[in-house]
Amino acid sequence: MRNEDPRPIRLKDYQVPAFDTHEVMLDIELDPKATRVHATLKMARNPASTDKKAPLKLDGEKLKLLEVKIDGEVLGANRYSVDEESLTIHETPEGDFTLETVTACAPEDNTALEGLYLTDGIYCTQCEAEGFRRITYYLDRPDNMAVFRTRITGDRKSEPVLLSNGNPVKKGKTKDGRHFVEWHDPFPKPSYLFALVAGDLGHVEDKFTTMSGREVTLRIFVEKGNEDRCAYAMEALKRAMKWDEERFGREYDLDIFMIVAVSAFNMGAMENKGLNVFNDKYILARPDTATDADYAAIEAIIAHEYFHNWTGNRITCRDWFQLCLKEGLTVFRDQEFTSDMRSRPVKRISDVRLLRAHQFPEDGGPLAHPVRPDSYIEINNFYTATVYEKGAELCRMIHTMAGPKRFRKGMDLYFERHDGEAATVEDFLNALADGAKLDLTQFKRWYWQSGTPEVLASGRYDAARKTYTLKMSQVCQPTPGQRVKEPFHIPVAVGLVGPDGKDIPLTLDGEEKPGAKTRVLHLTGREGTWRFKNVPEKPVPSILRGFTAPVKLDANLKERDLVFLMKHDSDSFNRWEAAQRYATNLLTRMVEAAKDGSTPRKGTAFAEMVHDLLSAKKIDPDFVAQIILLPSEQTLAQIIGQDVDVDAIHTAREALRLAIATHAKDALLSAYARMEVTGPYNPDAADAGKRALRNACLGYLAAAPGDEGVRLAAEQFRHATNMTDSIAALSVLSHIDCPEREEALATFHERWKDNHLVMDKWLAIQAMSSLPGTLDEVKRLTQHPAFTMKNPNKVRSLITSFASANQLRFHDAKGAGYRFVADKVLELDKLNPQVAARLLGAFKSWRQFEPKRRKLMQKELKRIAGTDGLSRDVYEIASKTLA
């Protein structure tokens, strides 16, 4: 906690470390109040450093220093200095030397959940990005890679399980009746990948034989009693291991791979070498406790962390500015994995939804930063949608431009060149350019220019010449610190759909033979023109198929073109996109009308589409569930972009839901009946898709006139045999003020009050309710035994759900929602700055709201920014949001 303005760290100031650490031996004696860490570091000056005189300055925070030795000799207090953030040894020997420190830390008091902490009696660590310095003094930076040996001593009763990275090499009893285990990790790694877990844990075990025939032991550790909820995670892990071998040629490298699930964790999971630590939300699943979405998230996150073993661990980042090197690439890899395991189009739609919901507002607001940022105050604030999701889109664009085969060649070269290194974005791009034979010179800009490019496309058909001329142009609005933008290299997949609904083969001017029906055009200048010949009839253009670039496209399409594409586009993504755009156009007109009291022109095409899709003989339920959903209130706010009136948006969207439900009621009822899944629960995409569609129908039916929807939801809630159906029904009821709602919430609570993960769902559902009393309810729930500010999942379920997923009630006209959330940010900042700063993100789009709300939000932001003793995390977000 600090008061003075913290200084930013800048990429341009990067220098190699003055010292190298070759080997690390950690001897850790666990104790809740005073864990003793004896660190022995084999070090030497780094020959690559130009600063030959620099003193040895080690990072360390919240540590009690008990002893310092160099080459066995205890150092007197005059030979080193210590402050709140570091230990400096004034003089070090020439050549190799051994530095020993003995320190103490207090896991029990660690509410920030960085470094070593206790959660439900389990010792656990989180070191990325800079948590290792809370365990021992160290050069805590990713380009300092060393081989670790870790000896953990703990109580035999309360910590029978003692885990760290690598392979176990020794175990035994100590004289005082405790026990120890020693681990050795042969792969040099940065300190952020260090992990330690100790406690009375149960586990499940399996095996995986790698492509070269090595047998790997797989273990998932959980709190005792939860072993029956790990099967899906284990299956997902084995599938991920196999997929990475087949798709990327990557084999696992240790004899054992372990995962531990804990209940208090700042994020989803962490890829520590050989010992991943997970938020238990992303491990534990049983049909009666986890939803289809939970299963899908478990599969994706297990894969993501596992994939880091190559993209992140074997090749790590030189510095934290390179974070996208491991995160963007690994997200791209996990997206591909999910696409192969489930439905590719549906995965693409949900990824783009996520990108637009989180990354676009970030890129268009005060917190905009490039995928590779050039400065930060607190690195934990940069684990953002831009680094992760836009970072993944950049990899996807390279993949699109290279095609799968050449992309693989590029990746192979990247692994070959940089295995065992701490690399940069440039290293990655050079390897991809060389291996995939691509010119990425201009493309590189995507990594350092922030902002979402806007692409304008318009076409003209020449009936006499049978040509179609497509013009595209790009602009990018200024973002903080970047006024002028150079043109991006934008790959745009394009198709032309003929009046018969079929794609026309695309032949560009100057080409002999007709080409493919979807082609990737490269918009590299501010403008570009392409002329297609042999186009027999006037087509409707389908631009940016598959969303080949993270841009905002205006394709200049008329309503009837959108309706046409909604029905006929062979590209599923663009079919969905046409429907979304149609609904968005309609809703924005309705919002305007709600504001000035006029009646908008009713667009019935969407309702007709819902009706027709549901009534069709053959349907793909998962896709239909996506296409019939209206854009969210947040999406609409974002598209409207200024003077947003949240009430008008809510009213308009509800009115359209009512219109659709009324028009398509019979089809909705019949699909609701037809999509019922019977038999044992299976979380696969086919069954999950049917449930998704059935529950989407239920949502609409609840909006239809009459109380049939409520009746159906109450019935579904009573008879549900799995959490997906149960929670979907509860969610529908949560927005309706009726006795069935209260009854269902009470029953749910009674049934699940001892299951913390299910209680999180119960909290979230109430926090997201559109009913007017929601804020009071949320305040009451902060006193409920299921809630505590000390557990990030609880905070996210109750408070973040309210602040970020309940636009209507967070933006209460009098500012009560803002006040409440700001109070919570300040309260949380004292406990867990990282999670507090995330929560504060709910204010990032404050400038887009109508003047009264804008003022109220600004007032709260100023109150936060003006508070003494803020963490770096909250200080950075508050000050940048206001700037």
Residues classed as catalytic: 305
Q: Which does 864 bind (CB under 5 to 8 A by kind): Zn ion, ligand B3K, none?
A: none
- Cα–Cα distance measured from residue 724 to residue 293, given in angstroms and rounded to the nearest whole number: 8
Closest CB to ligand B3K among 303 and 562? 303
Beta bridge partners of 422: 316
Among 265-273, 581-589, 621-629, 865-873, the segment contacting ligand B3K (CB under 6 A): 265-273
Q: Kindly tell me which residue out of 20, 185, 305, 860 binds ligand B3K, with binding defined by CB under 6 A.
A: 305
The number of residues in the chain equals 883
Show the tokens assigned to 368: 């905009």
Output 21 or 330, the one with its CB closest to Zn ion.
Answer: 330
- For Zn ion, the closer CB: 327 or 760: 327
Binding mask 271-290 for ligand B3K (x = CB under 6 A): x-------------------
Instruction: Please report how many Cα atoms fall inside a 13 Å half-sphere around the Cα of residue 734, on the Cβ side.
Output: 21
d(CA 497, CA 45) in angstroms, rounded, equals: 65
Q: Which residue's CB is nearer to ligand B3K, number 392 or number 727? A: 392
Which of Zn ion, ligand B3K, none does 452 bind, CB closer than 5 to 8 A by kind? none
- For the bound state, the minimum distance from the C-beta of residue 267 to ligand B3K, rounded and expressed in Å, comes to 5
- Closest contact distance (angstroms) between CB of 879 and ligand B3K is 20
Q: How far apart are CA 795 and CA 726, in angstroms?
A: 23
- CA–CA separation, 251 vs 610, rounded Å? 46
Alpha-carbon distance of 412 to 294, in angstroms, equals 33
Within 10 A of 516 (CB to CB), how many other CB atoms are there? 11
Q: Which two tokens stand for residue 415?
A: 């692994």
Residue 146 binds which of Zn ion, ligand B3K, none (CB < 5-8 A, kind-dependent): none
CB 276 within 8 A of CB 197: no
CA distance 229 to 220: 10
Q: How far is the CB of 270 from ligand B3K (least distance, A)?
A: 5
**Phi and psi dihedrals of 859, rounded to 5?**
-60, -45
The residue among 137, 128, 142 whose CA lies nearest residue 14 is 142
Contacting range for ligand B3K; rule: CB under 6 A; set: 257-265, 268-276, 539-547, 823-831: 268-276
Which part of the chain contacts ligand B3K (CB under 6 A), choosing from 183-191, 302-310, 398-406, 459-467? 302-310
Neighbouring C-alpha atoms within 13 Å toward the C-beta of 867:
22
Residue list 94-153, contact with ligand B3K (CB under 6 A)? 128-129
Taking contact as CB under 6 A, which single stretch among the options 300-308, 362-370, 415-423, 818-826 is the one that binds ligand B3K?
A: 300-308
* Contact range with ligand B3K by CB under 6 A, out of 217-225, 262-270, 463-471, 604-612: 262-270
**From CA 671, how far away is CA 807, in angstroms rounded?**
30
Cα 854 to its chain centre, rounded Å, is: 28
Q: Which does 653 bind (CB under 5 to 8 A by kind): ligand B3K, Zn ion, none?
A: none
Q: Which does 380 bind (CB under 5 to 8 A by kind): Zn ion, ligand B3K, none?
A: ligand B3K
129 binds, among Zn ion, ligand B3K, none (CB under 5 to 8 A by kind): ligand B3K
Decide which of ligand B3K, Zn ion, none touches 267; Cβ closer than 5 to 8 Å per partner kind.
ligand B3K
The count of chain residues that interact with ligand B3K, using the rule CB under 6 A, is 12
Query: Which residue, 433 or 828, has its beta carbon nearer to ligand B3K?
Result: 828
Shortest approach of ligand B3K to residue 313 CB, angstroms? Answer: 10
Q: Which does 362 bind (CB under 5 to 8 A by kind): ligand B3K, Zn ion, none?
A: none
873 lines the binding site for ligand B3K (CB under 6 A): no
Q: Least separation, in Å, of the C-beta of 592 and ligand B3K? A: 41
Closer residue to Zn ion in complex, CB, 192/681: 192
Q: Identify what 383 binds: Zn ion, ligand B3K, none; CB under 5 to 8 Å per kind.
A: ligand B3K
- Binders of ligand B3K among residues 315 to 354 (CB under 6 A) are 327
Tokens standing for 322?
């390179």
Nearer CB in complex with ligand B3K: 150/380: 380
H/E stretch holding 565: helix 559-568
Residue 812: name its binding partner from ligand B3K, Zn ion, none (Cβ under 5 to 8 Å by kind).
none
Give least dist CB 706 to Zn ion, A: 48
**Is-contact 201 121, C-beta < 8 A?**
no
DSSP 8-state symbol, 145 = -
**Cα distance between residue 841 and residue 878, in whole Å:** 9
Is the Cβ of residue 151 or residue 326 nearer to ligand B3K in the bound state? 326
> To 10 degrees, the CA torsion angle through 592, 598, 604, 606?
20
Interstrand relation of 122-126 and 196-199 (parallel, antiparallel or unpaired)? antiparallel
Residues in the site for Zn ion, rule: CB under 5 A? Answer: 327, 330
User: Distances from the Cα of 725 to the Cαs of 303, 647, 665, 717, 796, in angstroms?
Assistant: 26, 29, 20, 7, 22
| In the complex, minimum distance from the CB of residue 245 to ligand B3K, in angstroms, rounded to a whole number | 20
Which are the contacts of 678, defined by CB distance < 8 A and separation ≥ 6?
Answer: none
Query: Between vectors from CA 326 to CA 320 and to CA 328, what angle results, nearest 5°?
Result: 105
**Nearest CB to Zn ion, comparing residues 58 and 317:** 317
| Smallest distance from ligand B3K to CB 304, Å | 6
Residues in 363-392 that interact with ligand B3K by CB under 6 A: 380, 383
Which long-range CB contacts under 8 A does 865-868 form with residues at least 24 apart? 867/826, 868/3
Q: Which residues contact 199 (CB under 8 A, 6 or more apart)?
A: 121, 122, 123, 124, 158, 159, 161
How far, in Å, CA of 25 to CA of 704, rounded?
66
Residue 8 or 705 having the CB closest to ligand B3K: 8
Q: Is 591 helix (H, G, I), strand (E, B) or coil?
A: helix
Tell the smallest beta-carbon distance from residue 114 to ligand B3K (Å).
8
Q: How far is CA 47 from the centre of its chain?
A: 39
Q: Which is nearer to ligand B3K, 312 or 366 (CB)?
A: 312
Q: Which of 220, 240, 267, 659 binds ligand B3K (CB under 6 A)?
A: 267
10 - beta bridge partners? 375
Give the integer Cα–Cα distance in Å for 306 and 189: 16
Q: How far is the CB of 835 from ligand B3K (least distance, A)?
A: 10
Q: Smaller CB distance to Zn ion: residue 330 or 450?
A: 330
Spatial separation of the C-alpha atoms in residues 390 and 386, rounded to whole Å: 5
Asked whether 321 and 387 are in contact (CB, 8 A), the reply is no
In the complex with ligand B3K, which residue's Cβ is closer, 305 or 645? 305
Please state, as a whole number, how many other Cβ atoms lie within 10 Å of the Cβ of residue 733: 25
CB of 340 to ligand B3K, least distance (A): 20
CB of 329 to ligand B3K, least distance (A): 11
**Residue type for 716, please?**
Q
Find out whether 123 and 200 touch, Cβ atoms under 8 Å. no
290 interacts with, out of Zn ion, ligand B3K, none, CB within 5 to 8 A per kind:
none
- Choosing from 151, 273, 304, 796, the residue that interacts with ligand B3K (CB under 6 A) is 304
Interface with ligand B3K, residue 270, by CB under 6 A: yes
From the list Zn ion, ligand B3K, none, which binds 270 (C-beta under 5 to 8 Å, kind-based)?
ligand B3K
3-state secondary structure 314-333: CEEECCHHHHHHHHHHHHHH
Does position 165 bind ligand B3K by CB under 6 A? no
Report, in Å, the least distance between residue 131 CB and ligand B3K: 8
**596 exposed, middle or buried (CB, 10 Å; 0-12, 13-18, 19+)?**
exposed
Give the interface with ligand B3K as residue ranges (CB under 6 A): 128-129, 267, 269-271, 304-305, 308, 327, 380, 383
